[in-house]
Structure 1
Amino acid sequence: MSGTVPEVWIEAGGGQDMVRADMIVVLRLDETGRLTAQLRDEARVSVTLLEGSADPRPPDDFHRRLIRTVAELGRTGGAQLVRARHDGDGWHWVSEPV
């Protein structure tokens, strides 16, 4: 990444790992609500960002919401960490400074 572009990181593996958003080339949200990201590398490594769950399942556009969140954070200063969270209002992407 360039020094002028803020870094956006996404929580993966239930909080054990983080993936830099600019390394993601493909997002997949399957019918169980599992969200995976294919990384930009020769091995085509995939990382689980959100484990699937039947109840409550994330909305069908949850992966698009992640893209929107990352794009919005790209216009702010400083490194940010993005996490998927479920509360009484449903699924959301939340961010915080790293």
Structure 2
Amino acid sequence: MSGSVPQVWIAASNGRDMIRADAIVIVCLDGGGRVTAQLHDEAKVSVTLVDGSAGVHPPADFHRQLLRAVAELADSSGAQLVRADRDDRGWHWITEPL
């Protein structure tokens, strides 16, 4: 990313790894409730962003909600992190500055 474009990062489901949003070419939500992102490298690496298989599945449009959050953050200043969270209200994306 250039120095003038804000960096948007997405936290992986393991809680340790972060993926730069502009490295993603495909975001998928499978029938098991898992949201994965395929990166644009030559190895076609996929990263799990949400592992909904161990409990309540995210909503059917959860991957679209992620794209909406990333698009909104692209207009913000500074580096931002997007991460999935599940509480008593269900699944949602949380954004925070890095």
Same-fold status (TM-score > 0.5)? yes
1:12 corresponds to 2:12: yes
CA RMSD of aligned residues (A): 1.1
The 3-state SS of whatever aligns with 1:14 is coil
Instruction: Report the alpha carbon displacement of residue 54 of structure 1 after superposing the two structures with TM.
Output: 5.8
Going from structure 1 to structure 2, the CA distance change for 1:86 and 1:28 (only over 3 Å counts) comes to same
Match of 1:43 in 2: 43
The AA in structure 1 aligned to 2:85 is: R
Instruction: Report the alpha carbon displacement of residue 42 of structure 1 after superposing the two structures with TM.
Output: 0.9
Does structure 2 retain, via aligned residues, the 8 Å contact 1:32–1:54? no
- 1:49-82 deviation per Cα after TM superposition (whole angstroms, max 9, x unaligned): 1113263110000000000000001100000011
Normalization by structure 2: what TM-score? 0.95
The 3-state SS of whatever aligns with 1:69 is helix
The AA in structure 1 aligned to 2:68 is: R
1:29 corresponds to 2:34: no
Stretches (4+) displaced over 4 A:
none
Task: Give distance in 2, aligned partners of 1:12 and 1:55.
Answer: 17
Tell which deviates more after alignment, 44-53 or 71-80: 44-53
The AA in structure 2 aligned to 1:82 is: V
The 3-state SS of whatever aligns with 2:22 is helix
Task: Give distance in 2, aligned partners of 1:10 and 1:36.
Answer: 11
Aligned length: 98
Gaps (5+ residues) in structure 2? none
The AA in structure 2 aligned to 1:31 is: G
Task: Give distance in 2, aligned partners of 1:93 and 1:13.
Answer: 12
Percent identical pairs in the alignment equals: 63
Instruction: Report the alpha carbon displacement of residue 3 of structure 1 after superposing the two structures with TM.
Output: 1.1
